[in-house]
Amino acid sequence: LISKLPHIETTIFTIMSKMATDEGAINLSQGFPGFGSDPILLEMVAKYTQAGYNQYSPMSGIPALRNILAKKTQLTQGYFPNPDQEVTIVSGATEAIFCAVTSVVRSGDEVIVLEPAYDSYEPAITLNGGVPVYVPLNQGDFSVDWERVKTAITSKTRAIMVNSPHNPSGYVWSVEDVNQLAELVENTGIYVISDEVYEHITFDNRQHISIGSHPILRDQTFVCGSFGKTFHVTGWKIGYCIAPEVLSGEFRKVHQYVTFSTVTPIQYALAEYLEEPERYLSIPDFYQKKRDLFAEGLAQTELEFVPSTGSFFQLVSYGHLSQLPDRVLAERMTKELKVACIPISVFYSDRRDDKIIRFCFAKEERELMEALNRLKGLK
């Protein structure tokens, strides 16, 4: 077999979660909540399942969910995408990203990827014959070096992948970041694929600015979101893509042959659940408590870190304690301290090892406390 993805291995999330289970470790590796969702939402799913909403939904998603998502976008981001032409419901943000890349990237096209980057971007680009062009984020705070982005743009640049709040660093884009992007890509024909799965998880009163909210960028952007991340139900694999009509048209051509449509009863449940804005507007406060608790606990360990500003991830540096490669450290930490994490070299194309690991703090307080207690053993 001539592999189409010869360099791709099993994802680090699968590897570390399995190791955590095998070793009986606290799993702060793969990003998923360790607590349940709102029972009201669960009851709604049961209600629609029992009421017989169990057949294929319309290809682009049920109108009620597209409508309420457009309203939510108006409320949180100040613009109203047309629910019929510009909003598509898909099976998770991973599908949204894959379909967005597939709908615009042709063989030989270059796609700019800011790294460290979430691991699903590269295979999506490569499978479409595209060439990822990597631009490193600034060391330290993982902000964007706009001069480097500018230098990376060529006549072959077809798209740029962006992600704020950022996985794994938690960096949240400022208004200036969004304006810089607009300045660079306006009138260039470069598409923006914006991964906004952590749109509701920002701290210290930071606001998430959707790329779709920018009047110029909106016309060339695919905004990809995830209800799984927002409502603590990652296993439901349901998300969305908001893009202008022409782009959504191409996106739907791909989506209809990747999955065709998305789980029906959950769409009805989410449409009803989203009627109350407090259900998503309260999320920053909910996660702020966990971020604070985790940061306070980490301060009692030997690890170095700057508190995360968004997402449910916290990066920490250990280079002053150990020179072990991050993958080895992650393995030992799982086996010996019984706390699993993600080594972040995997998010770099050259597997650059800066001795940084990532913890997911979307866990119950007592689980976080126990993990922190164990991390005190790292010297």
Burial (Cβ within 10 Å: 0-12, 13-18, ≥19) of residue 73: buried
CB of 90 to ligand PMP, least distance (A): 9
Per partner kind, with CB cut-offs from 5 to 8 A, the member of ligand PMP, ligand GLN, none near residue 30 is: ligand GLN
**Of 11 and 213, CB closest to ligand GLN:** 11
Residue 163 engages ligand PMP in binding (rule: CB under 6 A): yes
Burial (Cβ within 10 Å: 0-12, 13-18, ≥19) of residue 13: middle
Q: How far apart are CA 195 and CA 120, in angstroms?
A: 11
Distances (CA, A) of 73 to 47, 62, 70: 26, 17, 5
Residue 345 engages ligand PMP in binding (rule: CB under 6 A): no
Give the per-residue contact string, 203-232, with ligand PMP (x = CB under 6 A; - = no): -----------------------x-xx---
Among residues 27, 31, 113, 185, the one that binds ligand GLN under rule CB under 6 A: 31
Residues of span 106-145 touching ligand PMP by CB under 6 A? 118
Tell me the three-class secondary structure of 296-322, residue by residue. Answer: HHHCCCCCECCCCCECCEEEEECCCCC
Give the per-residue contact string, 53-92, with ligand PMP (x = CB under 6 A; - = no): ---------------------------------------x
Residue 345 engages ligand GLN in binding (rule: CB under 6 A): no
> What SS3 class is residue 279?
helix
Among residues 167, 194, 309, 314, the one that binds ligand GLN under rule CB under 6 A: 167
Q: How far apart are CA 48 and CA 51, in angstroms?
A: 5
Residue 33 engages ligand PMP in binding (rule: CB under 6 A): no
Among residues 13, 79, 134, 305, the one that binds ligand GLN under rule CB under 6 A: 13
Size, binding site for ligand GLN by CB under 6 A: 5
Strand partners, 192: 160, 221
Q: How far apart are CA 254 and CA 256, in angstroms?
A: 5
Per partner kind, with CB cut-offs from 5 to 8 A, the member of ligand PMP, ligand GLN, none near residue 13 is: ligand GLN
Size, binding site for ligand PMP by CB under 6 A: 15
The residue count of the chain comes to: 379
**Of 86 and 195, CB closest to ligand PMP:** 195
Q: Could you tell me if 225 and 239 are in contact, meaning their C-beta atoms sit under 8 angstroms apart?
A: yes
**Of 48 and 198, CB closest to ligand GLN:** 198
Residue 194 engages ligand GLN in binding (rule: CB under 6 A): no
Minimal CB distance residue for ligand GLN? 31
Q: How far apart are CA 304 and CA 356, in angstroms?
A: 9
Residue 170 engages ligand GLN in binding (rule: CB under 6 A): no
Minimal CB distance residue for ligand PMP? 92
**Of 109 and 326, CB closest to ligand GLN:** 326
Distances (CA, A) of 51 to 44, 57, 83, 236, 266: 10, 15, 25, 19, 12
Give the list of residues 6+ apart from residue 296 with CB closer than 8 angstroms, or none: none
Q: How far apart are CA 184 and CA 20, in angstroms?
A: 43
Among residues 30, 60, 220, 309, the one that binds ligand GLN under rule CB under 6 A: 30
Distances (CA, A) of 143 to 115, 116, 190: 11, 11, 21
Task: Extract the tokens encoding 313.
Answer: 């991830």
Residue 348 engages ligand GLN in binding (rule: CB under 6 A): no
Chain residues that interact with ligand GLN, rule: CB under 6 A = 11, 13, 30-31, 167
Chain residues that interact with ligand PMP, rule: CB under 6 A = 31, 92-94, 118, 163, 167, 195, 197, 226, 228-229, 234, 237, 239
